[in-house]
Amino acid sequence: MTDSYNADKIQVLEGLEAVRKRPGMYIGTTGPKGLHHLVFEVVDNSVDEALAGHCTEIEVILEPDGSVTVADNGRGIPTDIHPKTGKSALETVLTVLHAGGKFGSGGYKVSGGLHGVGVSVVNALSEWVQVTVWRNGQEFTQRYERGAPVSDLRQKRQGGDRRGTTVQFQPDAQIFTLSTEFEYGILAGRLRELAYLNAGLGITLRDRRGESEIQEAYRYDGGIREYVAYMNREKEPIHPDCIYVRGERDNVQVEVALQWCADTYNDNILGFANNIRTIDGGTHLEGLKAVLTRTMNNFARKLKKLKDNDANLGGENIREGLTAVISVKVPDPEFEGQTKTKLGNTEVRGIVDSFVGEVLSEYLEFHPAVATAIVEKAIQAFNAAEAARRARELVRRKSALESSTLPGKLADCSSRDPAESEIFIVEGDSAGGSAKQGRDRHYQAILPLRGKVLNIEKSEDSKIYKNAEIQALITGLGLGIRGEEFNVSQLRYHKIILLADADVDGAHIRTLLLTFFYRYQRELVDRGFIYIGCPPLYKVERGKNAQYLYSDRELQAHLGTLPANANYTIQRFKGLGEMMPQQLWDTTMNPETRTLKQISIDDAAEADRIFTVLMGDRVAPRREFIETYGSKLSLAELDI
């Protein structure tokens, strides 16, 4: 750790010209995800200060005018003149791409990616930015508009020893044309996650946009141990305390928390590198999985649960029921791909393996009852997998891409390019018939399902693979076997669209399907392959004009625009099967006119917990959830 943080620690790599022209290259999208990414880029700078030991509090404020403020009590961005640019270091960081304290060895030991890119990109994509720095007994302020400074760096002496940086910015509506409104829930999920990953760091979120201010404060002195406990609070842990590993070698910091639960058939392992969630895995997760498999097999033999000639337990058997968080801090992270979702540093694998193996073995030696319970659960999982082996082999044999082995009720498309192909999973044969007639056969496939889909949150593998509807999903989509590494090249369609009725039964079927995809092959959700189709609920005809409406609220709003004496007819679609093929195409399937909702997960821990509460075996957490949130529902909006 170094305290000499000043202008010559800010290295300049290139200019800022292209950001406004091609914002997607820098923030991925100009939709809601990119908009919220701006806030996280500024917050990540403050977290970098915390990682370096100089910041203990971060505050994010959603202002009434639509802007957002991020404040910290770090050292403050340097304001002295930068030797290369001739501008202040503050202006350099805000106006030059790839200028930041991460690139030189004197600024930050560990950083969440190339943070100097972030704050300059935020500046480029904002209508205005106001920066205030408190440093060395002075207060510095400067204002920018669309990336360019519109005032000089103003300096005045302040009383007291306040320090830190405040960045307030208004996203540019010329760039973010869909919306510049921040969603409280998206920000809250990521800020909570950051607080769990950085034990003792206080993060406060305030929303001043409504009539009364909303405020949440996050500080978790237990760090990722509290994170695992939060995810498992509606489950039945085999051991009450998390197994916790923390260590550092060759400047790589490793932190792991593990807890097995008796009442779940899935694992939930969240990996992070430098506070970035590694959705696509990486060497830290490979190391963790390898050491868990080796260590638990050793204990299975030590406890005489496996005989000498028995095969080893598989990794997926051992991880059944496991909730884990692994967080590594790497000085020079190698992320595969620009999205930073897979860690590539080979040295991390061995470091994780070594630390976790030592601590886990010691814990299990001192807690033989826990070791026995975990091993016995793994053996049960192994036996269940064996019982399902024939069904699995059937699935394997059917998973080839030739259409002759695909489910009989699948109406496939003629295209063999998964990137352009999409499949509609529809409820019932009548809806399937309309969809088959209304689709574009070149790139749209239809798979009708009969009845309620199996709730796999409550089901063992043997039951899952024997279920006809689940088999049709697995073979039709090319999903492979649960627990194995996801192979995107086997996926037959890159848009999987859930198309159910617009009523409460349709919502139930969508929920069961989402549970299936989340638990069976979660990467489909993480990578954005799952969508929800939005069929209309009403059709209002007035003369020769017809208007399709998608909710009761839309219907009332539309009726309010009609003259008091207007003659019109309202048709309520009870199901997709009532719609003519052409109507279904026009409203729900035509890419030019339809509305699709892409399923994404902003808060992985909360998503896992909610699936457990609402879809799991235990009734008490579900009753508590309904009692807590039921009062917030409007009875008029319930479909009973």
Q: Which residues are catalytic?
A: 427, 501, 503, 505
Phi-psi category of residue 337: left, alpha or beta, with phi > 0 → left and psi -120 to 50 → alpha: left
Alpha helices in 272-367, H assignment, sequence order? 283-302, 315-318, 346-366
Copy the structure tokens of residue 471.
């088999």
Helix (H, G, I), strand (E, B) or coil at 270: strand
Alpha helices in 262-311, H assignment, sequence order? 283-302
Q: 558-576: string of b/e by CB count within 10 Å (b at 16+)?
A: beeeeeeeeeeeebebebb
Half-sphere exposure of 247 (CA within 13 A, CB side): 15
Q: Which pairing describes strands 545-549 and 538-542: parallel, antiparallel, or unpaired?
A: antiparallel
Q: Which pairing describes strands 202-207 and 57-62: parallel, antiparallel, or unpaired?
A: parallel
The closest of 487, 533, 514, 479 to 601, measured between CA atoms, is 514
Pairwise CA distance, residues 364 & 373, whole Å: 11
CA 252 to the chain's CA centroid: 25
Pairwise CA distance, residues 356 & 350, whole Å: 10
Pairwise CA distance, residues 254 & 327, whole Å: 6
Q: Which are the contacts of 273, defined by CB distance < 8 A and separation ≥ 6?
A: 282, 284, 327, 328, 329, 330, 333, 335, 343
Is residue 396 within 8 A of residue 481, CB to CB? The reply is yes
Write down how long the chain is: 640
Pairwise CA distance, residues 576 & 588, whole Å: 10
The closest of 622, 356, 399 to 489, measured between CA atoms, is 399
Between 389-398 and 468-477, two packed helices, what is the crossing angle to 10 degrees?
Answer: 40
